[in-house]
Structure 1
């Protein structure tokens, strides 16, 4: 036990060093398994069926010592460490649950632990830079507690993993290089890739100018940045070039690139691998990481399909990033300490959900304020997150003045005008099919998978050629093939009529002559416009984006609210895509919402009072859901690569995390009740369920999946469960 405690201590301290909390993390490592110093634990190891809350002993010990400390900071840090220790198996608790566990009777500890473990609580005060608003103090402490928890659970996992690997004579499946050791090579690869980019069109010249300007800003001190470049202006390469140069200038340890949706991560991942190589990029967006509280010990934790983000370049989603920042489970929190001293690029930052905007802003601010990170808000339609625009003076918003990386965003927008927006009014599916019949190449974007499938079928009944359906019903590897076919058809001038959900908008490189977009918010309409005349090779007056109303398929409630805001803004401006119109739109959507931007009062669930730190970690994790759909994964193992990954489950030396990583491109998200039905009917089964529980739900061979339509799980009993995914 003492060897594991010391190993965990050393790793936890190392992980916390970038944000100067190494002493607190070391104490957490020393005491996290203190409860195992008792006869009951030895009996459990010998096979006795005994339930033992071994985590509470260390939490109680550190709290008791903290209560006797003379320094207020030492007392509060002791409480933060106690939360981390108490949660290192079952997850960070709410204070009420935690306090109840502290009052329960506990087995007496063998006094020998005091000879093996020495704890010094003095001088634990963190170097936190306080937020200007005193209302943020409790949130800042809660954030620090979660980062300490991350250090502890990752250290605990890694030391345990190493022990069993040595015992089995096997090696850990992944050893990532340090970013600092390879930055020279990555920058050379980046420059070589740029040298191969051909074309001297006005759009390409503008992209090169943007990239040069952005890279020149890399010497700017770390912190918050904005990168406001219209769709098609080269944001992806510009932000990557900045991240590489900025990390080299300031000794930052990682590049984390977060994009809005799993459905569009594939293209960006391929760009990164083409530029940087396959062996430095971790693509992590999988939902195959279910974790439930367990009283089992040690090796049980090795059965979780989790990632630690130790890679030099991490590509993930906003959902994975932000839900982890507010999570309480070890599987989600394990990676968080790797965000310290990182360059974090938030692509399409305007997609952050409004009901959670204030907590998201608070997390972004804290990462840059106290954890040495640089965060780039990278978008074509920069949301008004500047604190100068928010009302109330309560500290909401970010200090963005003077932190723009792009050269004159208003001028860029004027130079990159490539489309005309037209309002088509009410359009039925028959109207849309008639429009597609008149235009052999066109893109229709609707607000739900249900509508996309119905429209695709109707267009098929009309006999339209070149008809293609793109939806999150399809797994990512299939979507890549579909998009490759779309690009080939567009390039050759063949008929190409694509019907898609909004997954096609953000980050998908397509260039259609005509686009029809179901009513949505202005940011989505602007993204749809980015799929029309993307390279600027057609006359603007012939490149029409038609915004239409689909009365039989109304948008979801949250989108309907944005539609109204767009309508009020559009009445004031001839062109809704000019910067002034965008500012009006975001002014209404963001600035006037006030407390509605923290729908669940997340920040208020962290309190500091005379009794100590009353934090509701578990409740916050439940409330902070960026996609309120409750979808669950189903693995579509039709291809050999997916089948091979499934066969590797349970093989010694192959971690479930590695298998989950290989299966990311073969997952479809569906409603939980739908998956339960498929399980009951034998269409889905949990692979190696006795070992991995419900982590790997695999579709069995049959007739439910087709490339053109994806996974059709519905029947008449639960069609109403269909939900749109963005």
Structure 2
């Protein structure tokens, strides 16, 4: 008997058989990759990823011998022997990387090629007595190249398959080693129940809204979003001025679109943590804390309160590993770094972007220096992975020439330019050069005022001049999340007095 994972029992009665682990991971990875018609590659990667554990050396390691054993190269060497170069190269990358991360191709001195040319590996041939290798030699990726860039399409496909394998491997290992933790996964309310919650919330909100022209326009925006949700998955733009109700209208689009086309989840990608916190609070109020993941560097699930606080916190922590939750609210950095990372922890979640609705809020803030690769990745998700992307902003970025005709966004709003005059709420006046003392005097004349300057030092100087007032608050990005939240609560309490 060969084993994949051990326990404290010396008689090995509850150790996990290696064959079971390989078949489990193959089935899970195949299910994940079926979302983009890659189930045969997914199954093969799961079946072969750990065949290096068939070596006597690895089995001795499980018995307690203190030795290091390379078990992730064996499967990659084997697929190079079994399959043609087109199939084997994809599998070589994802199998060698399933612990340490995706490798560059490199050369004989480093990278993937160096790994596969290593002269000695422990004998793993015993796998042939338990594992039947599937025939992939007639299998080809089902891909449509965007902008004729098949190379990028293949690399993205490899990364998505890598995500399927590493998540499947983690999940099966967790199910064996930590069954209590594993049992908490996937316990979210189905989207038909979330749809009902949203419908009830919006009916109440719309029925109690004041009868005035601006609310009529907000309702029209909301209804147009629901109307356009009937269109097939593709890239959309949603151009709505500030104050037009983008957050709830875009969620209405996402929910109706997901329901119409049987999609899997909704992701909000936002540049600023402050906006993320606001949107996540709204979504938690509507859908319940357990169905919404707020994922960014400042977020701590321990701060969430619900009827079953401890369980909810653990569920949210687990969902941050692979984004299997119905609604994810995250940052541009978290989203795009994951799309281009080679790290296992970052890539693990990627397969759950397939057949999803992805809302890019404040899309004008996409990093211009990385705009082309960002748009290329989004286009791949739309064209080859069944996802819908919504570029949502008050001021649409100029994407002319950066997107293929097959993914040019369809505008959701019929006449977005007419809305700008309707929602105009700001008057801009140039005061010219003004000293800090004069500016402080002007600020002190207002009951409520927001002052934005370019530098922290300038903000500190102004704050010191204003600090004689009891109702002055200074927030900056260097504050810890807890202290920042405390100051925000103080600010809200005092302004409502």
| Unpaired stretches in structure 1, ≥5 consecutive residues | 70-74, 290-302, 493-726
Q: Does 1:412 align with 2:419?
A: yes
Corresponding position of 1:83 = 93
Once superposed, which parts of structure 1, at least 4 consecutive aligned residues long, lie more than 6 Å away?
A: none
Q: How does 1:654-693 map to 2 (within 5 A)?
A: none
Corresponding position of 1:2 = 19
Q: Does 1:94 align with 2:104?
A: yes
Give the secondary-structure state (helix, strand or coil) at the position aligned to 2:321.
coil
Corresponding position of 1:474 = 479
Matching residue within 313, 333, 337 for 2:327:
313
Say whether the 8 Å CA contact 1:78–1:121 is kept in structure 2. no
Corresponding position of 1:333 = 347
| Unpaired stretches in structure 2, ≥5 consecutive residues | 1-17, 301-316
Pairwise CA distance, 1:419: 1.4
Q: CA-atom RMSD, angstroms? A: 2.5
Q: Between Structure 1 and Structure 2, which shows a larger proportion of strand residues?
A: 1
Give the secondary-structure state (helix, strand or coil) at the position aligned to 2:430.
strand
User: Measured at CA, do residues 401 and 28 of structure 1 come closer, stay the same or move farther in structure 2, by a change above 3 Å?
Assistant: closer
Q: Does 1:153 align with 2:166?
A: yes
Number of residue-to-residue matches in the alignment: 459
Matching residue within 412, 430, 441 for 2:437:
430
Q: Does 1:122 align with 2:137?
A: yes
Corresponding position of 2:290 = 279
Task: Report the TM-score, using the length of structure 1 for normalisation.
Answer: 0.60
Give the secondary-structure state (helix, strand or coil) at the position aligned to 2:22.
helix
Pairwise CA distance, 1:81: 1.5
Corresponding position of 1:660 = none
Q: How does 1:219-618 map to 2 (within 5 A)?
A: 219-286=230-297, 307-385=321-399, 389-390=400-401, 396=403, 403-460=410-467, 463-487=468-492
The 2-side partners of 1:243 and 1:422 are apart by 38
Corresponding position of 2:52 = 35
Pairwise CA distance, 1:357: 0.5
The 1-side partners of 2:245 and 2:181 are apart by 44
Q: Between Structure 1 and Structure 2, which shows a larger proportion of helix residues?
A: 2
Pairwise CA distance, 1:76: 2.3
Say whether the 8 Å CA contact 2:51–2:124 is kept in structure 1. no
Say whether the 8 Å CA contact 1:281–1:315 is kept in structure 2. yes
Corresponding position of 2:8 = none
Pairwise CA distance, 1:182: 3.2
Give the secondary-structure state (helix, strand or coil) at the position aligned to 1:345.
strand
Matching residue within 60, 72, 75 for 1:58:
75
The 1-side partners of 2:152 and 2:407 are apart by 21
Q: How does 1:102-113 map to 2 (within 5 A)?
A: 102-113=116-127
Say whether the 8 Å CA contact 1:183–1:248 is kept in structure 2. no
Matching residue within 153, 158, 163 for 1:140:
153
Give the secondary-structure state (helix, strand or coil) at the position aligned to 1:95.
coil
1:6-65: CA deviation from partner (whole Å, max 9, x where unpaired): 110000000001100011011110111111111221222233332222111111111232
Pairwise CA distance, 1:352: 0.7
Pairwise CA distance, 1:427: 4.0
The 2-side partners of 1:403 and 1:448 are apart by 39
Say whether the 8 Å CA contact 1:346–1:377 is kept in structure 2. yes
Corresponding position of 1:518 = none
Give the secondary-structure state (helix, strand or coil) at the position aligned to 1:421.
coil
Q: Does 1:21 align with 2:26?
A: no
Give the secondary-structure state (helix, strand or coil) at the position aligned to 2:322.
coil
Pairwise CA distance, 1:465: 4.3
Pairwise CA distance, 1:490: 5.1
The 2-side partners of 1:147 and 1:3 are apart by 24
Pairwise CA distance, 1:160: 0.2
Pairwise CA distance, 1:480: 4.3
Give the secondary-structure state (helix, strand or coil) at the position aligned to 1:411.
helix
User: Measured at CA, do residues 450 and 125 of structure 1 come closer, stay the same or move farther in structure 2, by a change above 3 Å?
Assistant: farther
The 1-side partners of 2:429 and 2:155 are apart by 48
Give the secondary-structure state (helix, strand or coil) at the position aligned to 1:199.
coil
